[in-house]
Amino acid sequence: MTTRRTLLLLAGSGLAAAATGCREPAAKATEAALPDVVLADSTRGLLRLFPGGEQRLGSAVVAFDGAHVYARQDADLVRFDPATGATTRSTALGGGWLPRAVSADGRACALGRTPAEVRPVARARTPLLITGPDGDREYDLPGVIEPDAFTTDGQGLFVLDWLPANAPETYRVRLLDLTTGELQPLLTRNKVPVPAGAEEEMRGEGRQAVLSADRQMLFTLYTHQPGHRHTRDLVSGRPGNAHAFVHVLHLTERWAYCLDLPHPFGEGGMDGHALAADQHRIAVVDLNSGKLAYAGPSSLTVEQVVDVRPAAGATAALILTTDGRTLIGGGDAVTVLDTAAHTPIARWELPAPIKGLALSRDGARLYAGAERRLIWLDATSGKRAGQREVIGLTAVKQVL
């Protein structure tokens, strides 16, 4: 729930290719044919990398699973199928609208007049535009409102309501009813309305967000939240002072819950943390302290914390594989753990610090971002299979 969310907004409108869906030849330094389609962030905006070259998509927003992309192209909002690069929809827009969030089914997009920022600028009111199968609907909302995620049915939009509006410092997650245009508090995990005065107000930045395996919940990792009090603390009167937690947002049942992470999670740098989830577990790594926590996606409680190799100052990446391994990226190496035994079974060295990890859909290839290049490895042996030069690459996002 944050403008820092790595999968939500990939800016670069001023660097977009002038023609919609413009394709460029692969870089001359390409050493092997790219076997998959990869979405990557860069200083040039969102990139769609494919076997024959790259496609710059401009100011774009990507669905959490990477299945849909909306991009601003000149005066149009264009929906792309990222697997093929084909335009699947184009809508004429007035000036100034920027794509900010996309529904899970790809049929709706939320747009604002301001780009995503770590902390938004003060303003008295916020205009939002929702474009979708029911046509365009514009809203004029009081205060500083930032789009976050759609409900599963597409009838609601979770937003960040920043307070105070004249000097935004904290925010609460609320629901915009797209039928009535009203802002509402969320439900608790027990599916009852949050009592008046008990809505959580958060500080800081979210590190990363991922969907649950059943696509019903959105998990967002927060760190550095001194003084934060959960709704359950406000209701019970407990002081509360979480330094790191996973914010759980149920996209269908419309409730929220905070899964607290134990000390020392959140004490070190934010970039040293990473999040992953599958049908069996939620995992969070903290490379600053060398800790890895596993939680249950049903119980929403931390069930185990194990030691891993620390990498102070490194940017963390984390993947859970279907064959029972945990891949931890940090610095210039990937550490492979046996998830059941919690023991390291391999370490794969890379030529430069890692900028994101992503698995191919068949689980056969592991992609790693590095300085000016995309590298792919055999996901079983770790043997390097190829690389491509990617100018300005900052993070690998999705493999399609």
290-344 pLDDT tens trace? 999 999 999 999 999 999 999 999 999 999 999 999 999 999 999 999 999 999 9
377-391 pLDDT tens trace? 999 999 999 999 999
Instruction: Provide the whole-model pTM.
Output: 0.86
Structure tokens at 193: 């309305």
- What are the beta bridge partners of residue 330? 333
- CA 353, 358, 362, 363 torsion-angle sign: positive
Alpha helices in the chain (DSSP H): 231-236
Q: Burial of 246 by CB count in 10 Å (0-12 exposed, 13-18 middle, 19+ buried)?
A: buried
Asked if the model's pLDDT at residue 233 lies above 60, the reply is no
- What is the model's pLDDT at position 201? 83
Reduce the DSSP state of residue 71 to 3 states and report it.
Answer: strand
Q: Provide the residue ranges of all domains of the chain, joining segments of one domain with +.
A: 1-21+57-185, 24-45+351-400, 196-349
- What is the model's pLDDT at position 12? 36
CATH number corresponding to 1-21+57-185: 2.40.128
Q: Do domains 1-21+57-185 and 196-349 have the same CATH topology?
A: no
Q: What amino acid is encoded at 255 in this protein?
A: W
**Residue 64 DSSP label:** T
Asked if the model's pLDDT at residue 249 lies above 80, the reply is yes
- CA 265, 148, 366, 29 torsion-angle sign: negative
135-177 pLDDT tens trace? 899 999 999 999 999 999 999 999 999 999 999 988 899 999 9
- What are the beta bridge partners of residue 132? 135
- What is the model's pLDDT at position 242? 59
Query: Is the previous residue joined to 185 through a cis bond, with omega within 30 degrees of 0?
Result: no
> What is the C-alpha separation between 332 and 16, in angstroms, rounded?
31
Structure tokens at 126: 């916020």
Average pLDDT of the segment spanning 34-48: 95
**Residue 388 DSSP label:** E
CATH of 196-349, one of 3.30.70.890, 3.40.50.410, 2.130.10.10, 2.60.40.10: 2.130.10.10
Asked if the model's pLDDT at residue 204 lies above 70, the reply is no
